[in-house]
């Protein structure tokens, strides 16, 4: 009888304290706000549930630099799509296409990444683009 009570209590505690959440594409990004940005990679984070990379984007009009974060698919999906941990690294010049964050922050859901040095077009293993 004691175990019958234990599991529901654990489930409630996990729900109350929170577990890592996975968001839907449309909750955070707007497919009606596409972007195409070119800049220099500053950091790549190979983590789950999504790989992120950061790029310094220079505004052509003001000259101001903004560091953008771009979300891609998960590590396994990227590996299956042909990515290696060395495919993208700090210092690489890239052009990124995708959808902007709904809140207007410098965050995007990347659909493709084009490497300036080789012209290689890499797909980001996101099912939402």
Contact 112, 98 (CB under 8 A): yes
User: Nearest CA to 124 among 56, 86, 71?
Assistant: 71
Whether 119 is in a domain gets the answer: yes
Contact 68, 75 (CB under 8 A): no
pTM value?
A: 0.77
What local confidence, expressed as pLDDT, does residue 27 receive? Answer: 64
What local confidence, expressed as pLDDT, does residue 63 receive? Answer: 96
Domain count, the chain: 1
pLDDT band at 125 (very low <50, low <70, confident <90, very high): confident
Query: If phi over 0 gives left and psi between -120 and 50 gives alpha, with beta otherwise, what is residue 7?
Result: alpha
For 13, 56, 117, the CA distances from 64, given in Å and listed in that order, are 46, 10, 24
The CA distance from 62 to 77, in Å, is 38
For residue range 15-72, list pLDDT tens digits in order: 443 444 455 666 678 989 999 999 999 999 999 889 999 999 999 999 999 999 999 9
Whether 11 is in a domain gets the answer: no
Whether 53 is in a domain gets the answer: yes
Whether 72 is in a domain gets the answer: yes
Whether 38 is in a domain gets the answer: yes
For residue range 65-119, list pLDDT tens digits in order: 999 999 999 999 999 988 999 999 999 999 999 999 999 999 999 999 999 999 9
User: Nearest CA to 69 among 86, 83, 58, 55?
Assistant: 55
Contact 68, 39 (CB under 8 A): yes
Whether 66 is in a domain gets the answer: yes
Identify the domain containing residue 35 by its residue range. Answer: 22-123
| 99 half-sphere exposure, CB direction, 13 A CA radius | 19
Whether 52 is in a domain gets the answer: yes
Whether 108 is in a domain gets the answer: yes
CATH number, domain at 34? 2.40.50.140
């Amino acid at each position: 009888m004691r175990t019958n009570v234990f599991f529901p209590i654990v489930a409630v505690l996990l729900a109350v304290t929170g577990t890592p959440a996975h968001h839907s594409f449309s909750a955070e990004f707007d497919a009606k706000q596409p972007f195409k940005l070119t800049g220099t990679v500053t950091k790549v984070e190979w983590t789950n549930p999504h790989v992120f990379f950061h790029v310094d984007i220079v505004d052509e009009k003001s000259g101001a630099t903004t560091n953008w974060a771009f979300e891609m698919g998960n590590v396994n999906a990227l590996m299956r799509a042909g990515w290696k941990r060395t495919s993208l690294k700090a210092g690489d010049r890239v052009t990124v296409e995708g959808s902007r964050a709904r809140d207007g922050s410098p965050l995007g859901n990347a659909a493709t990444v084009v490497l300036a040095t080789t012209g290689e077009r890499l797909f980001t293993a996101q099912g939402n683009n």
